Amino acid sequence: MRISWKQWSQSGAPWVWINAGAVAISLIMVLGLLGVIAVRGLGHFWPAAVMQADYLNEAGQLESLIGEPVSTELVPAARLRDAGVPLNTDKSEVSRTLLKTGNRDLFGGDFRWVISDHLQQVRYPSLLMTLERREWGNFYGVPRQLLEGDKPVASFTGTDSNPQNEQSWQLLQQHIERSLAIHHEIVQIEKVEIGAINAQIERLRLQQRSLQLQGEASPAALAEIDVERDQAQRAYQQLQDKLTRLYQQANRDTLVVEAANGKQLNIALDKIVRAYRPNAMHLGQKISFYASKLWEFLSAEPREANTEGGIYPAIFGTVMMVILMTLFVTPCGVIAAVYMREYARQGLLTRILRIAVNNLAGVPSIVYGVFGLGFFVYFLGGSIDQLFFRAALPSPTFGTPGLLWASLTLALLTLPVVIVATEEGLSRIPRSVREGSLALGATKWETLWRVVLPMASPAMMTGVILAVARAAGEVAPLMLVGVVKLAPSLPVDGNFPYVHLDQKFMHLGFHIYDVGFQSPNVEAARPLVYATALLLVIVIALLNFAAVSIRNHLREKYRALEI
């Protein structure tokens, strides 16, 4: 049946379709955002092929280039001509490729835009390797020789694989493993053992200072401290000697490599994190490489001003902060909800309170940050320092942003979430259940403890999960009360008192902000930011789905009770 435009539009159908369009757009936006983040975040760990080509550069000369193609875009030719790039086409638009050329120590930058048409003889020789280094970013090029001290132990020829190259490559991998083992040992000593001694020396200093402050600095006590300090110093000296030996061992091997422009340079093996030849990998190797990169991302410390390596400290800091926050927010939220629902007289006052608590959930998070900074950090923390940490003054212990204050601030921020969820759970429990318990002679407290709270526990769980999800993603208040871009150590370690509530910590959300916007090398860090964002999204989505399913489950359960 055909209908005319007039009829159709009078039926209101166009409006319905427009509304349907709005839903469709919203869905596309959500899925598109998640999709872009997922693709960009997950793609980062895949070993990208390394390209070699001859490039007719801006000066009109042919030069050899090695690098990973990152992206391609079309630009108007006029704009490039204006910028002084000579073009040998008459097309109005040309395509250009962003090439990650690495070798920042040689070229000054990691990336380079090249005109795609000017690339000649694009090839993927299998000996091309990517070196992930501890400093200066990636190196792209071919290996030439492996040196043990001054003695060559392996050499490479040409740019493609041959038996000799394969053998040398195996040897190189073995040497890299050796140097990684030594490096691991060095880090262990520097971070853990020397860290412990430093903590001890600092504790002795504080002890001495507090004795002086109390006027009890007798020569005997001071001598005792001096003896201990001497011991620590000696232990430190021993470790230092050991370190020197290890460093000598680590410095033994060198790899001679050749960059794109034919220049050879020596790279010490202890500066290398990983060496791989993406062009020579088959699918299985690529997958296992992918897994190892992913594991590194989750479990390693960041390198190079957070632009490379892993995000383990940020994950740890986030989890730590969220756990502490849960410890604060759960009892407070539940008690407040129980009070408002079960004990307080229901009247105008409770209604006002309820509205107020509800509204606090809508107060901008930065306001909580301001409050946390002023009240917790400067007021409470300052007072605590005056009372208990006089010896450390003027450098503040708790009078500065830190883990404790961050978790308290976020506990305050998420308190309304827990209160509202718990209250809802309490209100869903039928009166008959309470009355039954009371009729059997239970006191109010017994009813609450044995009957009401267990029944409301899924609702509390929902509230806590939602609170955790919110806290894990909140960044603005944390910027004021405790996160840093790079924490020298984790807030939990082997030194007394083991959990350092006064320390600053790293946080996934802040990591995204910092690396994406404050980093000196944003372009190189971008894939890492996408990966971090993806991780955060997954964690929060999982938490939310858990909360939603618990809530739905709960609703079903009590619907049966109400009948």
Partner 1 sequence: MNARVPVDAPELDFDTPALRRHRRIRALKDRLASGMIGIGGISVIVAVLLICVYLIYEVLPLFERASIRPWQTGQQLSSAYVLADVKGSPLYITTEEQAEIGMEVTDTGEVVFFNAASGKIVQRHALPLPANTHITSFAQPAARGDTFAVGLSDGSALVLRDDYQVTYPNDQRLITPLLSFPFGDTPLQVQSDGQPLNYLALRDSDDALMLVGGHDANLAAVRFDKQTNLLTNEVSLTPTRFSLPQSNHRVQQVLILPGMQWIVAGEENGGLSVFDLRKADKPILSEQLSASKGDITIMTLLLGGQSVLVGDDQGTVSQWFLVRGEKKEWHLQRIRAFSRQGYKVDWIAPEQGRKGFAVAYDDGMVSLYNATAETNSVNRRLFEQSEPLLLGYAPRGNALLTVNSQHQLQLWAVDNEHPEVSWRSLWGKVWYEGYDHPDYIWQSSSAANDFEPKFSLTPLAFGTLKAALYAMLLATPLAICGAIYTAYFMAGGLRRKVKPLIELMEALPTVILGFFAGLFLAPFVEGHLPFIAMALVLIPVGVLLFAFAWAQLPGAIRHRLPEGFDALLLVPLILLLGWLCLSLSEPVELALFGGDARAFLTNQLGIDFDQRNALVVGLAMGFAVIPTIFSITEDAIFGVPRSLTYGSLALGATPWQTLVRVVLPTASPGIFSALMIGLGRAVGETMIVLMATGNTPIMDANIFEGMRTLAANIAVEMPESEVGSSHFRILFLAALVLFAFTFVMNTGAELIRQRLRKKYGSL
Q: Please, what is the Cα angle at 374 between 469 and 502, to 5 degrees?
A: 65
The residue among 186 and 438 lying less far from partner 1, judged by its C-beta, is 438
Residues 6+ apart with CB under 8 A from 541: none
**542 lines the binding site for partner 1 (CB under 8 A):** no
- Please state the closest distance from residue 371 (CB atom) to partner 1, in A: 5
Q: Please, what is the Cα angle at 434 between 430 and 438, to 5 degrees?
A: 160
To 10 degrees, what angle do helices 348-360 and 403-428 make?
A: 130
Distance CA 280, CA 403 (A): 47
Distances (CA, A) of 153 to 77, 177, 267, 273, 528: 51, 16, 15, 20, 36
Stretch that binds partner 1, among 256-264, 277-285, 286-294, 336-344 (CB under 8 A): 336-344
Do residues 328 and 411 lie in contact, with contact meaning Cβ atoms separated by under 8 Å? yes
Tell which one of 469, 524, 528, 554 touches partner 1 (CB under 8 A). 469
- Please state the closest distance from residue 421 (CB atom) to partner 1, in A: 14
- Please state the closest distance from residue 110 (CB atom) to partner 1, in A: 16
The residue among 183 and 511 lying less far from partner 1, judged by its C-beta, is 511
Please tell me what DSSP assigns to residue 449. I
Per-residue binding string, partner 1, 59-98, x by CB under 8 A, is: --------------xx-x-xx------------xx-----
- Please state the closest distance from residue 44 (CB atom) to partner 1, in A: 14
**417 lines the binding site for partner 1 (CB under 8 A):** no
For partner 1, the binding residues in 197-236 under the rule CB under 8 A are: none
**388 lines the binding site for partner 1 (CB under 8 A):** no
> Would you call 87 helix, strand, or coil by DSSP?
coil
Q: How far apart are the first and last CA of the chain?
A: 48
- Please state the closest distance from residue 301 (CB atom) to partner 1, in A: 22
**357 lines the binding site for partner 1 (CB under 8 A):** yes
Q: What is the dihedral of CA 433, 437, 443, 445, to 10 degrees?
A: -40
**14 lines the binding site for partner 1 (CB under 8 A):** yes
**373 lines the binding site for partner 1 (CB under 8 A):** yes
Which H or E run contains 408? helix 403-428
Stretch that binds partner 1, among 165-173, 273-281, 388-396, 526-534 (CB under 8 A): 526-534
The residue among 269 and 340 lying less far from partner 1, judged by its C-beta, is 340
Tell which one of 39, 49, 223, 355 touches partner 1 (CB under 8 A). 355
The residue among 290 and 371 lying less far from partner 1, judged by its C-beta, is 371
- Please state the closest distance from residue 202 (CB atom) to partner 1, in A: 25
Stretch that binds partner 1, among 6-14, 121-129, 268-276, 292-300 (CB under 8 A): 6-14
Q: String of b and e for 361-376 (b: at least 16 CB within 10 Å)?
A: eeeebeebbebbbeeb
**362 lines the binding site for partner 1 (CB under 8 A):** yes
Stretch that binds partner 1, among 183-191, 213-221, 293-301, 350-358 (CB under 8 A): 350-358
To 10 degrees, what angle do helices 163-187 and 219-250 make?
A: 180
**19 lines the binding site for partner 1 (CB under 8 A):** yes
**463 lines the binding site for partner 1 (CB under 8 A):** no
Tell which one of 509, 519, 531, 554 touches partner 1 (CB under 8 A). 509
**558 lines the binding site for partner 1 (CB under 8 A):** no
- Please state the closest distance from residue 170 (CB atom) to partner 1, in A: 40
Per the listing, tokens 């319905």 go with 16
For partner 1, the binding residues in 91-150 under the rule CB under 8 A are: 92-93
**516 lines the binding site for partner 1 (CB under 8 A):** yes
Per the listing, tokens 């704009």 go with 79
- The DSSP code sequence of 214-278 is HT---HHHHHHHHHHHHHHHHHHHHHHHHHHHHHHHHTSEEEEEE-TTS-EEEEEGGGEEEEE-G
Do residues 125 and 104 lie in contact, with contact meaning Cβ atoms separated by under 8 Å? no
The residue among 207 and 350 lying less far from partner 1, judged by its C-beta, is 350
The residue among 368 and 505 lying less far from partner 1, judged by its C-beta, is 368
**360 lines the binding site for partner 1 (CB under 8 A):** yes
To 10 degrees, what angle do helices 522-562 and 13-43 make?
A: 130
For partner 1, the binding residues in 476-505 under the rule CB under 8 A are: 476, 479-480
Distance CA 501, CA 327 (A): 14
Number of residues forming the site for partner 1 (CB under 8 A): 103
Chain centroid to Cα 524, Å, comes to 16
- Please state the closest distance from residue 481 (CB atom) to partner 1, in A: 10
**393 lines the binding site for partner 1 (CB under 8 A):** no
Torsional sign, CA 172, 177, 182, 187: positive
- Please state the closest distance from residue 5 (CB atom) to partner 1, in A: 7
Q: How many of the other CB atoms lie within 10 Å of CB of 377?
A: 24
Torsional sign, CA 367, 369, 374, 380: positive
* CA nearest neighbour of 326 among 201, 415, 452: 415
- The DSSP code sequence of 173-185 is HHHHHHHHHHHHH
Tell which one of 60, 347, 387, 445 touches partner 1 (CB under 8 A). 445
Tell which one of 35, 158, 374, 430 touches partner 1 (CB under 8 A). 374
Tell which one of 136, 256, 473, 558 touches partner 1 (CB under 8 A). 473
- Please state the closest distance from residue 514 (CB atom) to partner 1, in A: 10
The residue among 11 and 162 lying less far from partner 1, judged by its C-beta, is 11
Distance CA 473, CA 509 (A): 6
- Please state the closest distance from residue 338 (CB atom) to partner 1, in A: 6
For partner 1, the binding residues in 247-306 under the rule CB under 8 A are: none
Which structure tokens are listed for 442?
């239970």
**12 lines the binding site for partner 1 (CB under 8 A):** yes
DSSP E strand boundaries for 44-138 = 51-56, 62-76, 93-100, 111-115, 119-123, 129-133
**416 lines the binding site for partner 1 (CB under 8 A):** yes
The residue among 32 and 430 lying less far from partner 1, judged by its C-beta, is 32
